[in-house]
């Protein structure tokens, strides 16, 4: 099983190349481990042949796979992802574990979350959006606002710059309590024995579920289980050892991932027949390699350094640029607010023009509106240019301005009669701005 033992790519097809003869045609973690053991153990020479599988106990008490090869004398040492368990310890000797792993869950990567134009509202829940208005009245509103703005800004930046993938399950508990996603294991191996003989209630329930499924959720190999994960579009989860899970997740097409923590902790060991002279030598060599960090280097070499997938893409998300489509909702709200304010201002002008028209006994609402608007704009323009002050309600200047504006809405004859009332106003002395709120 990759990456423990693999045939070199250039040696996969039959050829006469000398570099593809004997042990040279193979590569992988176990091959490198054997070479390290050979360097440290005097007289340790090896010849590699591939076993079909690690081996399981048959109904008649015999063993198949590499376990069977050890018991029959065909092999002297078995170096593979061979799990150390009680049943195997009864018939062979194991070295100290050279790797620790556990059963894990593999699922198909969910599709990346699509951003809507209102994605900027998603960092906060609906309840928080609904309750913000009620918090305005609190005595600590200023402090709350500062915290909310800071938190929202941080969450919004993280949210909009991550391509998130929402996993349907996040733990074995999530997997066990649902029925939408089916799950299975490889039949006849150590993983099956773990579930079958487990005393933990949740694992017992999962085993009964897997046994009762029709069609069967059990597979004959890891390759079949991984292919089922990929082909079932998120409706099947495969439970396998974490080493195989993590390795496959770094292989193209990069559409699977590991979720949750390992269900247990197990070790891989080098198996030898009972009474083998190599056991103690192998134990000492493995301990020395662990202390020097050589085994960790091998793990990084075969699992991560040669990965074909972007390791930044996880269930939490990968970095992405912030583009306009992700914040378009903010601009929609801005445009909507501007349009609403323009409509409100138009309504105020119309209402004001109607009141002034009634006072002036005029039937031309449109004409009054135009004059009203022109007066407001010209007053504001003069204020901006001259730096004058706005006439405050109740002041002499404000009353004079009202008389002047009222006169502008009267007929010509009435306007002449009112001219004396404003004659005393020095138009150059004060600059007025029309306030529609008055």
CA distances from 352 to 4, 17, 208, 359, 406 (A): 85, 97, 79, 11, 12
Residue 191 marked ligand-binding = yes
The gap from C-alpha 410 to its chain's centroid, in whole angstroms, comes to: 70
The gap from C-alpha 17 to its chain's centroid, in whole angstroms, comes to: 47
Residue 190 marked ligand-binding = yes
Could you give the residue ranges of the DSSP H alpha helices within 198-277? 201-212, 222-231, 242-248
Apex 285 CA angle, 6 and 248, nearest 5: 30
**Distance between CA atoms of 155 and 123, rounded to whole angstroms?**
6
SS3 assignment, position 321 = coil
Residue 314 marked ligand-binding = no
Strands 318-319 and 99-101: unpaired
- Residue with token string 């063993």: 63
- Residue with token string 């990456």: 3
Distance between start and end Cα atoms, the chain: 84
Helix (H) or strand (E) holding 105: strand 103-108
**Distance between CA atoms of 427 and 438, rounded to whole angstroms?**
21
**Distance between CA atoms of 133 and 100, rounded to whole angstroms?**
54
- Please provide the DSSP assignment of 334-375 as one string: HHHHHHHHHHHHHHHHHHHHHHHHHHTT---HHHHHHHHHHH
Residue 88 marked ligand-binding = yes
Structure tokens at 320: 């992405």
**Distance between CA atoms of 273 and 279, rounded to whole angstroms?**
9
Structure tokens at 254: 């990069």
- Least Cα distance to 262 among 316, 210, 203, 307 occurs for 203
CA distances from 148 to 143, 153, 155, 277 (A): 9, 8, 10, 69
Residue 101 marked ligand-binding = no
Annotated binding site for L-glutamate: 83, 88, 190-191, 241
Annotated binding site: 83, 88, 190-191, 241
């Amino acid at each position: 099983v990759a990456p423990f033992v693999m045939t070199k790519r250039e040696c996969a097809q039959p050829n006469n190349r000398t570099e593809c003869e004997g042990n040279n045609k193979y590569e992988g973690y176990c091959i490198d481990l054997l070479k390290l053991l050979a360097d440290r153990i005097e007289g340790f020479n090896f010849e590699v042949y591939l076993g079909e599988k690690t081996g399981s106990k048959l109904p008649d008490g015999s063993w198949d796979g590499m376990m069977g090869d050890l018991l029959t004398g065909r092999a002297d040492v078995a170096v593979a992802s061979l799990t150390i368990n009680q049943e195997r310890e009864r018939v062979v000797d194991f070295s100290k574990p050279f790797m620790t792993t556990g059963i894990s869950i593999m699922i198909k990567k969910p599709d990346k979350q699509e951003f809507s134009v209102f994605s900027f509202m998603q960092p906060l829940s609906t309840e928080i959006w609904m309750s913000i208005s009620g918090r305005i009245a609190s005595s600590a509103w200023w402090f709350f606002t500062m915290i909310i703005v800071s938190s929202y800004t941080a969450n919004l930046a993280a949210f909009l710059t991550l391509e998130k993938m929402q996993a349907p399950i996040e733990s074995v508990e999530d997997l066990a309590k649902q029925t939408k996603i089916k799950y299975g294991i490889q039949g006849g191996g150590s993983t099956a024995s773990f579930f079958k003989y487990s005393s933990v209630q949740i694992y017992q329930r999962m085993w009964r579920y897997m046994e009762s499924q029709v069609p069967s959720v059990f597979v004959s190999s890891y390759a079949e289980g991984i292919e089922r994960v990929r082909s079932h579009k998120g409706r099947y989860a495969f439970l396998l050892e974490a080493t195989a899970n993590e390795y496959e997740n770094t292989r193209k097409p990069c559409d699977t991932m590991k979720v949750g923590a390992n269900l247990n902790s197990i070790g891989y060991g080098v198996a030898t027949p009972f009474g083998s002279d190599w056991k103690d030598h192998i134990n000492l060599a493995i301990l020395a390699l662990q202390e020097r960090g050589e085994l960790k280097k091998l793990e990084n070499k075969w699992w991560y350094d040669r990965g074909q997938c972007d390791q930044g893409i996880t269930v939490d998300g990968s970095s992405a640029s912030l583009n306009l489509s992700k914040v378009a909702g903010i601009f929609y709200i801005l445009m909507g607010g501007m349009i609403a304010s323009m409509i409100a201002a138009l309504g105020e002008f119309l209402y004001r023009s109607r009141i002034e028209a009634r006072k002036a006994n005029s039937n031309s609402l449109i004409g009054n509106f135009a004059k009203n608007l022109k007066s407001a704009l010209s007053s504001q323009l003069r204020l901006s240019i001259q730096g004058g002050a706005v006439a405050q309600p109740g002041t002499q200047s404000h009353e004079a301005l009202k008389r002047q504006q009222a006169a502008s809405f009267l007929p010509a004859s009435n306007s002449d009669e009112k001219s004396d009332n404003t004659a005393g106003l020095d138009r150059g002395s004060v600059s007025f701005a029309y306030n529609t709120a008055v």
